[in-house]
Amino acid sequence: MKILIIGELNVDLVLQNPLSFPAPGHETLVEDVSLTLGSASAICAAALTKLGDQVAFVGKVGCDAWGELCLTTIRAIGIDASGVICDEALKTGITVSITSAKDRALVTYLGSIASLEAGEISDNTLAAHRHLHVSSFFLQRRLRPGLKSLLARAHQHGLTTSLDPGFDPEERWGPDLIDVLYEVDIFLPNETELAGISGMTDRSAALHSLDNGRTMIIAKLGADGCMAIRRGQILSVPAFRVEPVDTTGAGDTFNAGFLHAWLDGQALVDAMTFGAASGALSTLGLGGTANQPTVDEVQAFIARQAKYRDSAMGVSL
């Protein structure tokens, strides 16, 4: 499957297991540190590549050491980076992730993350692929105004589309996202994003409120698994139980697993299960890409927990 990822590229500085969360005027220690490829888009692209898909990336970096690290890493993974623009006027973005087994907090310098525009993606680039995925709607500030038209162009060329909104640092959750969803086939928010966008804390009610009759919504609920709505019907799948090392990128690896299975023609419940297993396995290593699984590893993991599939509730859509 030829998949196009349009999104942000940045590095992640991961600080693992702080003794206490940093407070103003205080210093704390962490158990480990790593500087690695970051960004929701790149982590999803890396996971899709590990699953055997052909992935091309369009984005921007600065012509600096961080940008070179991003490009070197994605090329080594096997991602086609020919569409990545190196802009001397920009600094490559960076995210500092303070993470533990239970949760994480992020601090981001946007830099090149916010600079890509929809007009910089050609029709020829779109036409060469089967599916288009976009992450970090709220961070990609210059892409955001033209995203609906970009997704419409993708549909005209026969692509299916997916969107992970990411967190809104301003917590405004603008109404323009609701309008963009009419050109999105698969919408992949997490629980916090679902509540922010819908204005509702009840998951089922939130999903129903965003159901536009066209877009399939898959909400990632962490330890509670995932929940979907499609054409008014709700489906829930529980989480796999693991002892996580680092939750960085788990949602993005879930996205990759789900998209791989769904594009392969698997039923919705099976694609959700495949995504849940992919995300769970990714938490067993430090950083977003260190422990992303292959198809065989996901299938073996699911087979070892055969009862998991049987506990899925709802109907197969």
Q: pLDDT digits over 127-143, tens only? A: 999 999 999 999 999 99
Residue at 131 is within a domain: yes
Residue at 316 is within a domain: no
CB contact at 8 A, 239 and 254: no
For residue 123, give every residue at least 6 positions away whose Cβ sits within 8 Å of its Cβ, in sequence order, or none.
153, 157
CB contact at 8 A, 204 and 198: no
Q: What is the CATH number of the domain that holds 274?
A: 3.40.1190.20
* Residue ranges making up the domain that contains 64: 2-310
Q: Within a 10 A sphere around the Cβ of 304, how many other Cβ atoms?
A: 10
Q: pLDDT digits over 90-113, tens only? A: 999 999 988 876 777 889 999 999
Residue at 317 is within a domain: no
pLDDT at 311: 52
CB contact at 8 A, 298 and 274: yes
pTM: 0.91
CB contact at 8 A, 250 and 210: no
Burial status of residue 239 (CB atoms within 10 A of its CB: 0-12, 13-18, 19 or more): middle
pLDDT at 315: 41
Domain count, the chain: 1
pLDDT at 104: 76
The pair of structure tokens assigned to 169 is 């640092």
Helical segments of 93-235, H only: 123-127, 147-156, 176-180, 191-198, 203-210
Q: Which residues of the chain have pLDDT under 50?
A: 313-317
Residue at 78 is within a domain: yes
The pair of structure tokens assigned to 22 is 């940093």
